[in-house]
Amino acid sequence: MSLTRKQAALWLLFAGPVAVFSVWAVVDNAPLYFKTLLNGLTLASLYFLVASGFTLVFGLMRNVNLAHGSLYLLGAYVGWVVGENTGSWLLAVAAGFLSAAVLGLLLQVFIFRFMEGQDLRQTLVTIGLSIVLADLMLWAFGGEIYTFDPPALIYGSTVLPVIEKFPTYRLFVLLAAIVIGIGLWTFLAKTRVGMMIRAGVDDRGMLAASGVNVQLVFAVTFAIGAGLAGLAGVVGGTALSISPGEDTRYLLASLVVVIVGGMGSVVGASIGALLIGLAEQFGLAYAPTYSVVFTFVIMVVALAFRPRGLMGKAG
Amino acid sequence: MSASQWRRAMNSAATAAAPTLATRPATAARAPTSPGAGMDAMPMSSWLARLAARIRPRHLVVLAAAVAYPFLASPFFTYQIGAQSLALGLIALSLTFLGGYGGMVSLAQMTVAGVAGYGIAIFGTSSFPAISLGWPWWLAACISLTAATVFAAVVGWLSVRTEGIYTIMITLAVGVAFFYLAQQNYTVFNGFGGFSKIAAPELFGIDFREPVPFYFVALGCALAGYLLVRHLVRAPFGVALQGIRDNPRRMASLGYHVNAHRIAAYAVSGLLAAVGGVLMVWYNGRISPGTVNLAQMIGILIIAVLGGMKHPIGAFIGAIVYVLLQNFAIDLFIRERFNLVIGGVFLAIVLFSPDGLLGLWAKLRSRLVQGPISPRKRRQP
């Protein structure tokens, strides 16, 4: 009973100020508030796409892939080249997914397989890889900013109530993230491979003992996780733009999202992405020079009350 | 707790017992040199005697070389290579202490150094008087060192709530968040431009911006930091810290406050990094978000891993290699591709010699010298 009272007090402590702020902001300037809300949801969708792969890989292999941001940027650049040459945005998305997935697969098969259980060494390798990849991409693509042309169907703007105009593409990103999120959940919950992955997250040794080729499961997971980052690269690159340094930005976002949401949990990643995306956009709209502080405060609060993240399992 | 977890815990306890026991007798064996003196209140003279008993010829050779270096080398080598290596090495030393002896690899050491550097700029004098308070250098330095140490302790308090690989993620997130804050905020950190014209002090008629005096300040700080780490890892605190690194559960059941030791380790390493940060800002004369960006944070990790995290001297060896590569590798390859070179070197070290250059050296020596390794083996010419 005391626990529920404590929880109620916590909810009041955190939800109260947010509710008060929302009421004030809606009364003060409703279009700005709802526009920021939608922007926040769009950003949260992007963060979810990037972070879900990160959390999947970590949950199964205990591999903190700090080259995840580089995979995002690689997918974006490859997608841009394909999109430029074929003129098809959908092909660009597919190319982004495939290129990052193939690189992820190669990394798992040729490097990480040989250092299983050495968490720190794997992490150091991913750091080295991220430096090398970032510099190679800077070499190949230079410091310019690249942008995509999405198909006409999802280009332009949509008229919505309260907010007069909102870019259609951002609504599409939101929709895509929801579809991919549900797809990922279905894959993990309903299919046989998904079952193996979930079993591996809980107990790798037991999964191997029951006759499953764990290396194959690892490779598939790494490919999907990396591929999601590459796909997010094209989708996110279309919503914003691609330039060197984006890898760091999305790496930080993925880190904070999974720290807040809990490692290895796709649901946790979606909750974390929502919190961080909304906090960032509202921070930018209402307190521009301190927007990073909000992200940071959310992380600190989450760590203080739930050290393993909101959806994390107790160690 | 399941049976398999118990078994695993017992096994790791058994393997961890060996190094823990190995460090204990080492402390006990040196006790006879200072009979009757408690570890906590060691008289200065016997402390010096203990120090003298540990000095080997190779220590004197390195020290003599370091002292003679600025008189033999050109000002460029004294300042750009020598002093920069010492300052960077000091920051990397803080990571070696934290990672090698505490088992907590923090990526935020450059951020801690950056906090100290920003402190010097904000409380001292710079080209931006609207923000800089213009206080005397010693006051600014004291405040900066304190602030950075407190900052490191807070980072430690945050990250010890979780363990192992989470540490690297949380410290990375803290460091990158600080970078973005420094870049976005113009009221305190002066945004993208940062601060410039931050002067090293002039004292007793010696201008510490000159290469040779600055080199000796850096050498003094580096030596003090090195000796502090060497002393701490033999002191009860350091031995307990290494015990916690090897098996936190066993240390907790022995009655040690695991988290308090870890946070204290963060604070100590924070002080070391802060001193390095003050040296860096005096060396560069400026500080901006670029000083604390991801590349610089990882640079410190590269230095520590490059040299080898098993011994404090590795940090300085790594720093010398890093600075030399930074200054000369770009002439050999293409000028802009420094990151590719350093990333490749780092990758090779991590993949093939996890103990860094020191590990490589030890491997080489054990291959060259058949039989037991003599500690007084002459260096290869």
Give the pLDDT score at B45.
Answer: 67
d(CA A65, CA A58): 7
Of A251, A289, A315, the CB nearest to B184: A289
Count: domains in chain A: 1
Identify residue B212 by its one-letter amino acid code: V
Query: With 0-12 CB in 10 A as exposed, 13-18 as middle and 19+ as buried, what is B367?
Result: exposed
Q: Could you tell me if A123 lies within 8 Å of chain B, comparing CB atoms? A: yes
**Contact check, Cβ <8 Å, A289/B164:** no
Token look-up 């993925």 returns A254
Q: Is residue A30 part of a domain?
A: no
**For the CA atoms of chain A, what is the radius of gyration?**
20
Please report which confidence band the pLDDT of residue B295 belongs to, taking 50, 70 and 90 as the band edges: confident
Identify the H or E element spanning B206. strand B206-207
* pLDDT value of position A100: 93
Q: State the smallest CA–CA distance between residue B349 and chain A in angstroms.
A: 9
Q: How many CB pairs under 8 A join A and B?
A: 109
Does any domain span residue A18?
no
Nearest C-alpha of chain B: how many angstroms from A289? 5
Number of H-type helices and E-type strands within chain A:
12, 2
| Cβ pair A261, A268 in contact under 8 A | yes
Which residues of chain B make contact with A252, given a CB cutoff of 8 A?
172-173, 176-177, 180
- Does residue B366 register a pLDDT over 70? yes
Q: How far apart are CA A234 and CA A222, in angstroms?
A: 19
Say what the pLDDT of residue B1 is. 42
Q: What's chain B's Rg over C-alpha atoms?
A: 22
Instruction: Say yes or no for a CB contact (<8 Å) between A120 and B105.
Output: yes
Q: Which of B158, B172, B347 sits opposite A255 (nearest CB)?
A: B172
Q: Is A207 exposed, middle or buried (0-12, 13-18, 19+ CB in 10 A)?
A: buried
Please give the average pLDDT of every successive group of 10 residues along chain A, which has 315 residues: 66 76 78 84 90 83 83 91 86 91 90 78 86 87 81 72 75 88 87 85 82 85 90 86 82 84 82 89 79 78 76 60
Q: Please, which residues bridge with residue A166 across strands? A: A158
Q: How confident is the model at residue B32 (pLDDT cuts 50, 70, 90)?
A: very low
Cα(B148)–Cα(B151) distance, integer angstroms: 5
With an 8 Å Cβ cutoff, is B110 touching chain A?
A: no
In A200-229, the residues whose Cβ lies within 8 Å of chain B are 205
- The pLDDT of residue A162: 65
Tokens of residue A169, six digits: 């593409």
CB atoms within 10 A of CB A244: 16
Q: Which domain holds residue A223?
A: 38-244
**Contact call for residues B136 and B249 (beta carbons, < 8 A):** no
- Residue A290 falls within a domain, yes or no? no
Q: Pick the residue from chain A with its C-alpha nearest to B106.
A: A120
Give yes or no for a contact between A279 and A298, defined as CB atoms under 8 angstroms apart.
yes
| Average per-residue pLDDT for chain B | 77
- The residue behind tokens 């764990």 is A214
Q: Which among B166, B339, B347 has the least Cβ separation from residue A125? A: B347
Residue B54 has what pLDDT? 72
* Secondary structure of residue B67 in the 3-state scheme: helix
CB-CB: which of A123, A125, A300 is closest to B165?
A123
Say which of B185, B305, B342 has its CB closest to residue A289.
B185
Cα–Cα separations (whole angstroms), residue A221 to A133, A198, A256, B282: 21, 11, 21, 48
> Tokens 């995509």, residue?
A148
Mean pLDDT of the B104-122 span: 89
Give the per-residue pLDDT at A95.
92
Beta carbons of B158 and A308 less than 8 Å apart: no
pTM of the full structure: 0.78
pLDDT on residue A226? 92
Cα distance between residue B119 and residue B140, in whole Å: 7
Q: Is A39 on the interface with B (CB under 8 A)?
A: no
Name the more confident of B133 and A130. Answer: A130
Residue B101 has pLDDT above 80, yes or no: yes
Query: A228 to chain B nearest CA, in Å?
Result: 20
How close is the nearest chain B Cα to the Cα of A2, in Å?
24
Task: Flag if B185 and A290 touch (Cβ within 8 Å).
Answer: yes
Say if B350 is an interface residue toward chain A (CB within 8 Å).
Answer: yes
Distance CA(A111)–CA(A104), nearest Å, equals 10
Nearest CA in chain A to B296: A131
Q: What is the pLDDT of residues B319-333, one digit of tens each?
A: 888 888 887 776 766
The stretches of chain B forming alpha helices (DSSP H) are 3-30, 44-54, 57-72, 75-76, 84-95, 109-123, 137-159, 165-184, 211-232, 236-246, 248-253, 258-284, 294-307, 313-324, 330-332, 338-352, 356-368
Kindly determine whether residue B346 and residue A111, on different chains, have CB atoms separated by under 8 Å.
Answer: no
Say if residue B6's pLDDT is above 50.
Answer: no
Structural contact between residues B308 and B318, judged by C-beta atoms closer than 8 angstroms: yes
User: Which member of B165, B186, B337 has the closest CB to residue A120?
Assistant: B165
Give B366 or B10, the one with higher predicted confidence.
B366
> Residue holding tokens 């960006």?
B293
| Best of B4, B165, B188, B333 to mutate (most A CBs within 10 Å, chain A) | B165
A48 lies in a domain?
yes
- Which domains are present in chain B? 60-368 (1.10.3470)
Residue corresponding to tokens 């009364």: A27
Q: Is the dihedral of CA A223, A229, A230, A232 positive or negative?
A: positive
ipTM: 0.74
Coarse DSSP helix, strand, coil percentages of chain A, rounded to the nearest 5 percent: 80, 5, 20
**Which residues of chain A neighbour B184 with C-beta distances below 8 Å?**
288-292
Residue A87 lies in a domain: yes
Chain A residues with CB under 8 Å of B176 CB are 248, 251-252, 255
**Tokens matching residue B193:** 């431009």
> pLDDT by residue (tens digit) across B47-79?
667 667 777 777 777 787 777 777 777 777 777
pLDDT, tens only, B168-180: 878 888 888 888 8
The answer to whether A64 and A122 are in contact (CB under 8 A) is yes
Asked if residues A58 and A122 have their Cβ atoms less than 8 Å apart, the reply is no
Round to whole Å and give the CA distance between A222 and A110.
12
User: For residue B164, which residues of chain A lie inside 8 Å, CB to CB?
Assistant: 119
Q: Output the pLDDT for position B337.
A: 76
**pLDDT class of B274 with cuts at 50, 70, 90:** very high
Query: Do the domain assignments include residue A273?
Result: no
Choose the mutation target among A130, A135, A249, A305 for the interface with B, i.e. most B CBs under 10 Å: A135
**Distance between CA atoms of residues B363 and B154, nearest Å:** 39
Handedness of CA B333, B337, B340, B342 (dihedral sign): positive
Model confidence at B24: pLDDT above 60? no
User: Which element (helix H / strand E) includes A223?
Assistant: helix A214-239
In a domain, A224, yes or no: yes
Q: Rounded to whole angstroms, how far apart are CA atoms B300 and B292?
A: 11
Evaluate whether residue A285 is within a structural domain.
no
Structure tokens at A139: 């070499």
- Range from A232-236, B197-201, B371-375 that averages highest in pLDDT: A232-236
Distance from CA of B295 to the nearest CA of A (A): 8
Question: What is the distance between the alpha carbons of residues B303 and B94, in angstroms, rounded to a whole number?
Answer: 11
- In the beta sheet, which residues pair with residue A157? A167
CA distance B219 to B144: 20
Does A131 contact B339 at a Cβ distance shorter than 8 Å?
Answer: yes
**Above 60 in pLDDT, residue B116?**
yes
User: Looking up tokens 């105009």, which residue turns up?
Assistant: A165
